[in-house]
Amino acid sequence: MVFRLYDDVKTFYKHTYDVFMHHEAQNVIPLGNVIIGNEGKDKTDWRDPANWFMATVSDDSGILLTAVMTPPKGLTLYATDNVNDPAALHCLLDGIEQAGVPIPGVMAEKSLAEMFAKAYASKHGVKYKVDTDQRIYELAQVSSGIPTFGNVRLVEEKDMSFLPYWVESFYHDCFETPVVVDSDIEKYRYHIASQRLYILEDNGVPVTMAKISRELQTVCTIAFVYTPPYLRGKGYATACVAAVSQIALDKGFSKCVLYTDLANPTSNSIYMKIGYEPICDSLDMRFCEQRI
């Protein structure tokens, strides 16, 4: 087994892109990351590869395990063809220890995430907890008969009156962060400039948002789905996600991918109604000190 640590994102991209493409829909997050890093056009927030941890474990047959971390986010792992090799995992753990890189958490296919978390926790004397028990879905065709409301449009400058609050509320719902609007307003204008965030309006009133994200070779993700609490239960999220998914398919993507929290049966039901089908279960896990 050979552990390789990369300091050049372009070399990492060259070595891992085809490996990730074995399961493009499952690997939308690491694929999106290495594409962003290789292009080098956007270095805002976590997107600067100078701060990333990138590594592979290989044998004579090729890469067995791929790891990429974009601080402050945790480590994302992929075992080639979803074949978990304990020897490759321990080789990665030894390489991480030698590199002196702290790992705040891990996200991967469920069995791999559990294997890594258990081994890392034992090696470093920490505990771990599941932050999100996830399911990855993909859609090739939007179901017919989805109710529609008003119109869907790209977010605009005029939406800055509420967009920062929606963004922070989305993060609060997903990650339990405080709903505090950042004084750096450009953080929110970024979503306008990206030309990927859509707003559903009902009778001219913005009611839901959803974003086309991580545009890969044949798939893209649908993310950033948020409806204010006082507007929920009216079918707005279903209509918005269906419409934005269709926009993505019309752009030429063969499939749309999204992540759901299995603790939220409502969202899982909504997405399956639209036409999304489960392809993989994934865990997002966090490490913490033993005293916690």
For every one of its 292 residues, what pLDDT tens digit does the chain have, with 9 covering 90 and above? 999 999 999 999 999 999 999 999 999 999 999 999 999 888 888 889 999 999 999 999 999 999 999 999 999 999 999 999 999 999 999 999 999 999 999 999 999 999 999 999 999 999 999 999 999 999 999 999 999 999 999 999 999 999 999 999 999 998 888 999 988 899 899 999 999 999 999 999 999 999 999 899 999 999 999 999 999 999 999 999 999 999 999 999 999 999 999 998 888 999 999 999 999 999 999 999 754 3
**Position 142 in a domain:** no
Q: Are residues 173 and 240 in the same domain?
A: yes
Q: Are residues 198 and 249 in the same domain?
A: yes
Where in 227-289 does DSSP place strands (E)?
Answer: 255-261, 277-289
Q: How far apart are CA 271 and CA 258, in angstroms?
A: 9
What tokens appear for 52 in the block?
């990333």
Q: Report pLDDT for 266.
A: 87
- 123 sits in which H/E element: helix 110-124
What tokens appear for 77 in the block?
């792992």
Q: Are residues 122 and 204 in the same domain?
A: no
Q: Are residues 160 and 127 in the same domain?
A: no
Give the CATH number of the domain where residue 242 resides: 3.40.630.30
Q: Are residues 215 and 103 in the same domain?
A: no
Q: Are residues 176 and 263 in the same domain?
A: yes
What tokens appear for 69 in the block?
């971390």
Give the CATH number of the domain where residue 118 resides: 3.40.630
**Position 146 in a domain:** no
Count helices and strands (H / E) in the chain: 8, 12
Q: Report pLDDT for 292.
A: 38
Q: Report pLDDT for 152.
A: 98
Q: Report pLDDT for 290.
A: 56
CA dist 102 → 18, 35, 93, 95, 131 (Å): 28, 24, 11, 12, 18
Q: Residue 153 phi/psi, 5° resolution?
A: -145, 165
Q: Are residues 53 and 164 in the same domain?
A: no
The 3-state secondary structure of 187-207 reads HHHHHHHCCCEEEEEECCEEE
**Position 37 in a domain:** yes
Q: Residue 166 phi/psi, 5° resolution?
A: -65, -45
Q: Are residues 158 and 94 in the same domain?
A: no
Q: How far apart are CA 57 and CA 76, in angstroms?
A: 14
**Position 237 in a domain:** yes
Which residues span the domain enclosing 124? 2-135+283-289
Q: Report pLDDT for 277.
A: 97
The 3-state secondary structure of 140-202 reads CCCCCCCCCCCEEEECCHHHHHCHHHHHHHHHHHHHCCCCCCCCCCHHHHHHHHCCCEEEEEE
CB 285 within 8 A of CB 130: yes
Spatial CA neighbour of 58 closest among 88, 98, 22, 21: 88
Q: Are residues 74 and 177 in the same domain?
A: no
Q: Are residues 86 and 162 in the same domain?
A: no
Q: Taken in order 238, 136, 277, 34, is the CA torsion positive or negative?
A: positive
Q: How far apart are CA 266 and CA 277, in angstroms?
A: 15
Q: How far apart are CA 263 and CA 258, in angstroms?
A: 15
Whole-structure pTM value: 0.90
Q: Are residues 127 and 11 in the same domain?
A: yes
Q: Are residues 177 and 236 in the same domain?
A: yes
Q: Report pLDDT for 175.
A: 80
Question: Considering its fold, how many domains does the chain have in total?
Answer: 2
**Position 141 in a domain:** no
What tokens appear for 289 in the block?
């000190």
Give residue 54's Cα distance to chain centre.
Answer: 17
